[in-house]
Structure 1
Amino acid sequence: MTFLRVLFATLVAFPLLAITASAQSDYRVRSGDILQLEVLEDSSLNRELLVLPDGRVSVPFVGTVRAGGRTLGQIRATIRDGLAPSFAEPPNVYVGLSFLAEIEPREPITIDVYVMGEVTEPGKREIEPGTTILQFLAEMGGFTQFAATKRIQLRTARTGREQVYTLNYNDVELGAGVGTSTIMADGDVIIVPQRRLFE
């Protein structure tokens, strides 16, 4: 009888493990998630990694790694490649979600951001988590002829209180300044003001 109970429990557990593994493989990491890092060849690197508001985590010997909007497999590959020069052979790296984080994919799978002012298509936009400001500017529909592109504002409350950042679109196009790697957060607002008379 005991053998049958063990067999039944095993048969029930296997599908649950498969579902959990599948959910984790499809899951897109978001700010606030806690990841579990394990390196088989060096246990001193094992730790929990908090995904910061900018979507990044900090890993010893690797530095900052973009995690927001990516799958666990993609993050694992980046960390493994970053650690590889420190080992004779590429290390065996495991990255999973901590038990404190959600395992099931969250709905919705997009975040809401807003654009207003001197743009051709103002309003709410649904974008994928992990989208940078530069990527968002590229797909938001363009500016009107009256747009003050040197004074674009990013208004965000990701730290708990509203903060305002000024972007110069010309600098962003050249890959300089804020906007090239900053990740958009849910509720962010882009405001494109009207150009002044002699601006």
Structure 2
Amino acid sequence: MTAVRTRLLGSCLSLALTAACGDAPAPENLAPVKSGGAYQAQYREPLRRSEDQPILRSEQMNARKCRPGQGAGGKGGSVAAGLRGERLSRNDLVDIRISDDETFNGDYVVSRDGDLKLPFLPPVRAQGRTTGDIEVQIARLLVREGFYDEAPRISARVSDFASVNVAVSGAVFEPHAVEIGTRVADDIDRARQAALGASTEARNLSAALRAVGGIRPDADLSAVELRRNGTRHVLDMRGVFKGRNAVDVMLLTGDEIRVPSRQCFQDDLMRPSPISPPGISLFLSNLTQPATGNAPSAVGREVREVPYGTRFMQAVINTNCVGGARATSAKRSAVLFTRDPITGVSTVIERKIEDMLRRADRDDYDPYLLPGDAIACYDSSVTNFTEVAKIVGAVVATGAIID
């Protein structure tokens, strides 16, 4: 029995050493990752380092897959007259004053059907209109209904803007219907609320795009669609990334926004902006051994926020996967789990950390992180070798039973 146990120990020790020192097979993917045909060309496998190998080709590879922007031939930055300025939506609070007329003076809320309803007058259409439009129509009604012989002086001012419900679809990270413009009680400035002439940026188009997770890197910002009351408006929002924001129009309840896709990854959209995702959350554990539960592994205790546009290797360093003694840590690897937002198909890539840190063309194989991505770090084969003792210990215990 002793000979049997010796052979068993030797066999298991060999297997343990092989598992500790051998490389794991490369991850398999449905997407053409190896050739650079996945969502990001940066996902492709690194080539062997060579002086005659052109570097930093990923951005050009991504651009070759782009469809022409639907609004590329337009003027850009122009906004239809019906979208300009602050416009009323249902539930907005409007202060109306007509000289010294106590009958019509007061605060009015735009009704669910989009009208202002003053006493003794037909409903005044308010949805989508400016306060100037309201003043003109009320003056006409007062004369037409016989309350005045000539149009009186009228003032219509917004006292408070209500939240609005809009639908957002297309090349955004979380397409869905969303409510924007809400405020909690602690955020309300009473002095401002009591003053006439309220204003808000919380109902702008950019606020709606942020509320659905921000635009994706494949978004066609030259032709963002806004449908209002059956009319389709096309907005060129490329100026957001050029220091211009002229097309950030105010939204109304019932508006529908669609961001078309260019079917390609655009590196120049991977930076913070008013319409980009707010950032990337990194949940840290960095465990060498799988844990038996959340409590001993400290899962959920630390979350780090990194800016939108952070790359894979930056996150690997940020999550403490790099460093330590060179002899035991030089051969660590990191794995990225992501999902193509166009096709919904997952992609897994693995990088040898030391190789990525040393090669000059590291940026060509260093993908940008997207919301929802996950990272796993693996220790080197030298570190894994220390686990052999545990395996041998388990085999010895088994061998004792065989005896």
TM-score range, shorter chain: 0.3 to 0.5
Larger Rg: 2
Between structures 1 and 2, the one with greater strand share: 1
Q: Using structure 2 for the length normalisation, give the TM-score.
A: 0.27
Q: Name the TM-score, length of structure 1 as normaliser.
A: 0.47
